Amino acid sequence: IKPGDDVPEIGSNQQFEAAIAPLNNPNDVGERTGVKGGFAIPMFVEKKEPRIPELEEVKDRLSQTLKHQRAKEQLEQKAKEVLSAVKTVADIKGAGEKAGFEVGTEADWKIGSVIGKAGSSPALDEVAYALKAGEITKTPFKVGDNWVILGATSRVDADLAAFASKRPQMTQTLLTQRQTQLWDDYVTRVQEEMKRSGKIRIYKDVLTAMEENEPAAAAPQSQFPFPVK
């Protein structure tokens, strides 16, 4: 069994793989591990030394790998063909849907936001932010397993005047937060040092006695008048 293998009746299970990792000798038994539909107890039966497998052993896996690779190459080529047919941002929707791609519009996008099913990533942010109104990405680019074509319908730049007017207030708020954090850290550090040096002692028995002598809190009264017999 190798990491990622599809184990019969268990599937690909990282917890199961972690449970068999410490097993090194025949008849070693691992810990009970939860799997889909119940649990499994792995046991080391046989170790096969690394070797070049026979073609029959890897034929199916090799075939699947080649098919997967060919499908990815075809998808990339298809995305390039769609982009070559697009002249304006408005053309993306029709060309994409005709080729079987999903097409969406993201309003009020800003850096860090999700762009439809393409998700969010630093690379996606960089490409999207660089687009001017009416521009389209020059080539499809890959995000995860997806090929993405972006077009900017419009662009609203930051209001620097509004930012400048609020800058003193924002600066003061951040400064106050920083000062408060530094003070809290200082007090905590001094308290810990005084506890270690014996200058602060916590008498737990006194605290316990105080809690025991404290009267119980009264039951909350109803906010609505109920008739009493």
Averaged over 19-30, what is the pLDDT? 85
Report yes or no on 204 lying in a domain. Answer: yes
The pLDDT tens digits for 168-200 are 888 888 899 889 999 988 888 888 888 788 777
Averaged over 201-225, what is the pLDDT? 61
Number of domains in the chain: 3
The residue out of 102, 126, 148 marking a domain boundary is 148
Q: Which of 102, 87, 85 is nearest to 143 (CA)?
A: 102
- What pLDDT is attached to residue 229? 41
Tell me: pLDDT of 222 over 60.
Answer: no
Tell me: pLDDT of 223 over 60.
Answer: no
Residues 62, 90 within the same domain = yes
Whole-prediction pTM: 0.43
Question: Of 14-28, 35-49, 103-117, 204-218, which range is least confident?
Answer: 204-218
Which segments within the chain are labelled E, that is strand?
A: 33-35, 38-40, 141-143, 146-148
8 A C-beta contact, residue 124 and residue 111: no
Provide the pLDDT confidence category of residue 226 given band limits of 50, 70 and 90.
Answer: very low
Instruction: Indicate the pairing of strand 141-143 with strand 38-40.
Output: unpaired
Residues 89, 135 within the same domain = yes
Residues 45, 4 within the same domain = yes
**Token pair recorded at residue 168:** 């003193």
Interacting residues of 180 by C-beta distance below 8 A, sequence separation 6+: none
Report yes or no on 39 lying in a domain. Answer: yes
| Structural domain boundaries, residue 85 | 55-148
- What pLDDT is attached to residue 225? 46
Report yes or no on 5 lying in a domain. Answer: yes
